[in-house]
Amino acid sequence: MIVTVIGLGLIGGSFALDLKTKKIASKILGVDNNELHQKEALEYGIVDEIVSLDDAIKQSEVIILAIPVDSSIKLLPKILDSVTNQLVFDVGSVKHDIIEAVKNHKNRKYFVASHPMAGTEFSGPKAAFRGMFKDKTLIICNKQDNDPKILEKAENIFKKLEMRLLYFDALQHDMNVAYVSHISHISSFALALTVLEKDESNIFNLAAGGFESTVRLAKSSSEMWTPIMMLNRKFILEVLDTYIEKLMDFKRSIRLKNPEEITELIQKSNDIKRILK
């Protein structure tokens, strides 16, 4: 089976590596605007060939769209114009708008709206690695719009990569990821900005475990994250409002020297142990 990966970054590159290693794909065709990424993807054995988008679509049985969400929304209708019966899936972190963009397309049924909840804070082909998706969750949205055979083909690929499948409505997905992923990133970006503004060389010396884990996401790229914040604006603003409110609760109880209130806030938050093992 020949597979095309459009966008040879962290996620696209890791899909390419796993599909080849697990012999799901016999050949990987790569499409990327970035010449350095093209070169690196060939060099690291991520793709077998770099081809044009048109050639890629003609030759492939599966097309993976792994570019920033705003670019995916623009490109997907054009890809669907050219497919005959191929499977196309994306990997984006916002789902409502991309589904909206093709909802009346004659080939809508060939597009499986997918979100693998996997990744790191690094980007580009050199960040790609084998085994990224093992035991991770992949969310498929609005599966009722898919051709059953195409959906099954996508599910089989994800299962061979040892992913756990969940099925969501697109808006329900977008709300949920605002809470478990998007806000974590904004929290990290803001924390990094706070520390960088102080610019005390000792702070840099002291960066320890707790700091590292809360700030590491601030290395994430704006190419990926600006479009996510723009497209998932509504839910992100809702979460951000609650988050700032909770921080204000801490601020008030610290300012008023109220240890009972601080303790109550911390103990309530400890309840997160229900979610995280």
**Residue 51 or 190 with smaller CB distance to a second copy:** 190
CB-based contact 41:6 (threshold 8 Å): no
CB of 67 to a second copy, least distance (A): 16
Question: Which residue of 78, 103, 149, 246 would you call a contact of a second copy, by CB under 8 A?
Answer: 246
Interface stretch with a second copy, choices 1-9, 22-30, 46-54, 224-232 (CB under 8 A) = 224-232
Q: Does 148 interact with a second copy (rule: CB under 8 A)?
A: no
Phi, psi of 166 (to 5 degrees): -130, 150
Q: Is the dihedral of CA 38, 41, 43, 48 positive or negative?
A: negative
Terminal-to-terminal C-alpha distance of the chain: 39
Given 29, 92, 166, 171, the residue binding a second copy (CB under 8 A) = 166
Cβ atoms of 163 and 116 within 8 Å: the answer is yes
Q: Single out the residue of 117, 108, 70 nearest to residue 89, CA to CA.
A: 108
Out of 23, 35, 84, 276, point to the residue binding a second copy (CB under 8 A): 276
Could you say which residues in the range 83-122 bind a second copy, by CB under 8 A?
Answer: 117-120
Q: How far is the CB of 163 from a second copy (least distance, A)?
A: 12
Name the one range near a second copy by CB under 8 A: 13-21, 30-38, 95-103, 263-271. 263-271
The residues pairing with 114 across neighbouring beta strands, listed in sequence order, are: 140
Tell me which stretch binds a second copy (CB under 8 A): 19-27, 84-92, 148-156, 236-244: 236-244
Residues 117-146 that bind a second copy (CB under 8 A): 117-120, 136-137, 139
Q: Note whether 162 binds a second copy by CB under 8 A.
A: no
- Tokens matching residue 201: 């060389």
Dist CA 115 CA 93 (whole Å):
6
> Distance between CA 135 and CA 219 in Å, rounded?
24
